[in-house]
């Protein structure tokens, strides 16, 4: 294997997509000595870097600072005068962060000898990717819906386009996902937006209706409220964060409502109309919500249209190209990673799967991908989870016990004035295995890494309880909850450990 030239069309491995799955997988393949090409039609870094993880966290950083400023007096800090947000400056800072990260990926490609092929890539038969480039197909700005729409239209046109044919014995499909929309709803993107649009808004609305109370909906609700926007959330299920452990969604709701965020759970938007004055939504039961804008946050779907799957015999399941534990699709030589395979729509899952696919594609010895994937919600307080939810444990008939520890009982939480939240540890009552860890509180998205590492190495709850955590820290709550699951908590009043048997 050798480094490809910039004009080479023959590779050992081609990645279709440069998101966190494609670009990380490509780096690993190049590290292993393969000739690697990455095909990208828009911006390097995919959704995560340009329209997801990174821009949302950049905006949330500003929102969290505003939230803390609003409560500074409780820490003895008096802030005189009115505190305001310069939204244009916030957006400028966010865009600067994105540029730096894109340039970083590009630099890594150059240093690793990875060929970046700009254009729209489609399968053109086994082992072949046809890349169309030309007017409208070179990378476009993620901040402009008009440019993105023009780009999408150009994929189907032929004028001023050139096609380059790439070949490789192994190809990794890493085209990611796009926000789901609601059929029949108004198409006025200035009023009815997806998260892709909302992250790049030029102005803030005075009021916002968030449709969907999952991870994206909760992060935007938290962010916008802290920035002074009047927020209403409508969720079809009976609680926020319906894909996570029930107590997390039930725990964040009163915190949101205390801040003035209106929550309508077990509710649908039955009708939505848009006018020059704003948006009018009619909810289940007849209640109405008026808002300047609507954010549609009802999930994501695989970005598998117009990538030539039929030319290689690949079929989809609800739009996803499914993969086995080796990241192999149903067609030999083609791998499917990240959001497009539907296993776990998270950036870090895509990266890990990209590395696994690269190794399996280039090695005679294949290893299944088995690592537990943590979930993180960047509200304040933060929410994080790894392993099985209590609902899933019950569904599988596993005898278990529950350990709980309130964040507010920690010295660190009291000292910094952030006492909301808890840690929940699910323990297999017969084997002492860690089944799942669920956490809400300060720095939860960082602390969950410790729980994920313990779960990954198949540590027991007793071993988790024996880990020495720094004091004072929020991470101590993990140890405390593990002790509680064993009935051995020291910093909680004595109680009978909650033991759940099959069928209870």
Catalytic positions: 471
Q: Please, what sign has the CA dihedral across residues 232, 236, 241, 246?
A: positive
d(Cα 474, Cα 220) in Å, to the nearest integer?
A: 25
d(Cα 414, Cα 226) in Å, to the nearest integer?
A: 22
Task: Tell me if 335 sits within 8 A of 28, measured CB to CB.
Answer: no
Q: Which residue has the tokens 């590290």?
A: 31
- Six-digit token string for 128: 């072949």
User: Which SS3 state, helix, strand or coil, does residue 145 take?
Assistant: helix
Of 339, 344, 408, whose CA–CA distance to 374 is shortest? 344
Own/partner pairs for 66-72, CB < 8 Å, 24+ apart? 66/226, 66/227, 66/228, 67/226, 67/380, 70/226, 71/417
Task: Tell me if 238 sits within 8 A of 325, measured CB to CB.
Answer: no
Contacts of 388 (CB under 8 A, 6+ apart): 396, 426, 435, 436
Using a 10 angstrom Cβ sphere, with 0-12 exposed, 13-18 middle and 19 or more buried, the burial of residue 66 is middle
d(Cα 481, Cα 488) in Å, to the nearest integer?
A: 9
d(Cα 182, Cα 485) in Å, to the nearest integer?
A: 43
- Six-digit token string for 398: 């596993």
User: Which SS3 state, helix, strand or coil, does residue 105 take?
Assistant: helix
- Six-digit token string for 210: 């968030």
Q: Which residue has the tokens 């009552």?
A: 429
Residue 327 backbone zone (phi > 0: left; psi -120 to 50: alpha; other: beta)? left
Convert 469-499 to b/e letters by CB count within 10 Å (16 or more is b).
Answer: eeeebbbbbbbbbbbbbbeebeeeeeeeeee
- Six-digit token string for 287: 């209640």
Residue 422's Cα: distance from chain center in Å?
Answer: 22
Of 324, 319, 425, whose CA–CA distance to 366 is shortest? 324
d(Cα 118, Cα 138) in Å, to the nearest integer?
A: 6
Q: Give, rounded to a whole angstrom, the gap between the first and last alpha carbons of the chain.
A: 58
Task: Tell me if 351 sits within 8 A of 53, measured CB to CB.
Answer: no
């Amino acid at each position: 294997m050798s480094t490809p030239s910039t004009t080479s069309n023959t590779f050992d491995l081609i990645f279709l997509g440069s998101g966190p799955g494609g670009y990380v997988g490509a780096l690993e393949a190049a590290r292993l000595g393969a000739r690697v090409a990455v095909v990208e039609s828009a911006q390097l870094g995919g959704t995560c870097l340009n329209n997801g993880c990174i821009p949302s966290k950049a905006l949330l950083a500003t929102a969290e600072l505003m939230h803390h400023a609003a409560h500074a007096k409780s820490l003895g800090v008096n802030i005189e005068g009115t505190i305001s947000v310069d939204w244009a400056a916030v957006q400028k800072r966010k865009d600067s962060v994105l540029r730096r990260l894109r340039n970083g990926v590009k630099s890594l490609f150059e240093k690793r000898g990875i060929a970046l092929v700009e254009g729209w890539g489609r399968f053109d038969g086994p082992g072949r990717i046809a890349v169309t480039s030309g007017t409208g197909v070179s990378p476009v700005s993620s901040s402009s819906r008009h440019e993105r729409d023009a780009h999408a239209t150009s994929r189907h046109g032929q004028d001023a386009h050139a096609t380059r044919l790439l070949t490789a014995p192994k190809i990794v499909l890493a085209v990611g996902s796009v926000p789901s929309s609601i059929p029949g709803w108004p198409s006025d993107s200035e009023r009815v937006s997806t998260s892709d649009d909302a992250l790049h808004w030029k102005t803030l609305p005075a009021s916002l209706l968030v449709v969907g109370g999952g991870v994206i909906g909760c992060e935007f609700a938290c962010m916008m409220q802290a920035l002074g926007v009047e927020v209403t959330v409508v969720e079809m299920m009976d609680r926020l964060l319906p894909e996570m452990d029930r107590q997390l969604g039930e725990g964040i709701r009163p915190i949101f409502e205390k801040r003035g965020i209106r929550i309508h759970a077990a509710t649908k938007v039955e009708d939505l109309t848009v006018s020059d004055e704003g948006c009018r939504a009619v909810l289940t039961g007849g209640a109405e919500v008026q808002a300047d804008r609507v954010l549609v946050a009802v999930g994501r779907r695989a970005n598998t249209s117009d990538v030539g799957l039929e030319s290689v015999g690949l079929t989809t399941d609800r739009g996803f190209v499914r993969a086995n534990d080796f990241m192999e699709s149903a067609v030999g030589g083609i791998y499917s990673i990240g959001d497009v395979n539907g296993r776990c729509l998270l950036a870090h899952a895509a990266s890990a799967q990209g590395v696994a696919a690269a190794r399996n594609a280039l090695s005679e010895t294949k290893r299944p991908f088995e690592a537990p994937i943590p979930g993180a919600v960047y509200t304040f307080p933060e929410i994080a989870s790894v392993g099985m939810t209590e609902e899933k444990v019950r569904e599988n008939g596993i005898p278990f016990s529950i350990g709980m520890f309130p964040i507010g009982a920690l010295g660190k939480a009291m000292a910094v004035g952030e006492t909301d939240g808890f840690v929940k540890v699910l323990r297999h009552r017969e084997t002492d295995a860690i089944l799942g860890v669920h956490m809400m509180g300060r720095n939860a998205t960082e602390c969950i890494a410790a729980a994920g590492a313990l779960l990954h190495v198949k540590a027991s709850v007793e071993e988790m309880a024996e880990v020495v955590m720094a004091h004072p820290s929020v991470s101590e709550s993990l140890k405390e909850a593990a002790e509680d699951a064993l009935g051995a908590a020291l910093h909680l009043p004595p109680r009978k450990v909650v033991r759940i048997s099959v069928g209870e």
